[in-house]
Homo-oligomer: A and B are copies of this chain.
Amino acid sequence: MVSETEALRVADYARLDIARRDRTGVPEVVFAQAKTVAQTLRLLAELRAGDPEAPALATRCPDEVLAAAPTAFGTDPVRVDEVARTVTVGPLPPPRGRVGVLTAGTCDLPVARECLATLAALGVGATLVDDVGVAGIGRLFAQLPRLHDVDCALVVAGMDGALPSVVAGLLRAPVVGVPTSVGYGVASGGVTALGSMLSACAPGLTVVNIDNGFGAAVHAAKVINAVHGD
């Protein structure tokens, strides 16, 4: 069940876990933040070659990767989202299911778009409902009907992180809170938003690390896989 022959050695800096999609339903992805441009592009190419049925995804790409990606993979289609800082190589799978992605404010958009890019790469449908934070809570109620039948909801919020708690008390779907590092003073770095979501009164809310839109989207994709098969 856990066999090394399913790992792929790339140059001398990585050991790709190519069996991950078989084990978990979600393929390995390139975390580009602490890698060189050449490393990220090569790993994307190896992932793409190793699993031709799925697109290869890189997250947290620095500017240089975003600039180089469009011409780096021959005829393979490449999607670059400069706000999300993601690169997707290969055709997107047809979307199944539907995930609601909500944001509290404009500043939370980059993380929400990392959710959207990840869901798209994993073949999951999504609806974005942005800028519905609790300071003007009427904006949320007007959008609620759009979220009526989602399979899962990801709620992205910084500052006081209060939106996920409100949403979890209103929806049937499982809800994941995604704290963002937006804010200043005690909100700096997102720790307050994270604590607030973990302490939410509304039961059933689960949480990911600060700014981890990717991780939240993978959780949602696993829910979609459970609901719609994979």
With both chains docked as a complex, state the minimum distance between the C-beta of A65 and any C-beta of chain B, in angstroms.
Answer: 15
Task: From B104, B142, B205, B230, give the contact of A172 (CB < 8 A).
Answer: B230
Pick from B25, B130, B195: contact of A15, CB below 8 A: B130
The secondary structure that dominates the A interface is: mixed
Cβ contact within 8 Å between A173 and B106: no
**Chain A, 166-208, CB within 8 A of any chain B CB:** 166, 168-176, 179, 181-208
Number of interface residues of A (CB under 8 A): 105
Chain B residues in 8 Å Cβ range of A37? none
B209 touches A142 (CB 8 A): no
Segment 129-149 of A: residues with Cβ below 8 Å from B: 130-139, 141-144
Cα(A106)–Cα(B176), bound, Å: 26
A95 to chain B, nearest CB (A): 16
Question: Is B23's CB under 8 angstroms from A169's CB?
Answer: yes
| Chain B positions within 8 Å of A7 at CB level | 136, 138-139, 142
Q: Which of B138, B173, B195 contacts A196 (CB 8 A)?
A: B195
Chain A 83-104, CB-CB to B under 8 Å as 1, else 0, gives 0000000000000000000001
A residues with CB within 8 A of B: 1-7, 12-15, 17, 19-20, 23-26, 28-29, 33-35, 39, 104-107, 109, 130-139, 141-144, 151-152, 159-162, 165-166, 168-176, 179, 181-212, 214-216, 218-219, 221-223, 225-227, 230
Q: Which 9 A-B pairs have the closest CB atoms?
A: A4-B142, A185-B210, A2-B138, A17-B136, A204-B218, A206-B206, A162-B162, A187-B199, A174-B222
Some 10 contacts from A to B, beta carbons below 8 A apart, are A4-B141, A23-B169, A24-B170, A33-B184, A160-B162, A160-B200, A162-B162, A181-B185, A185-B212, A195-B196
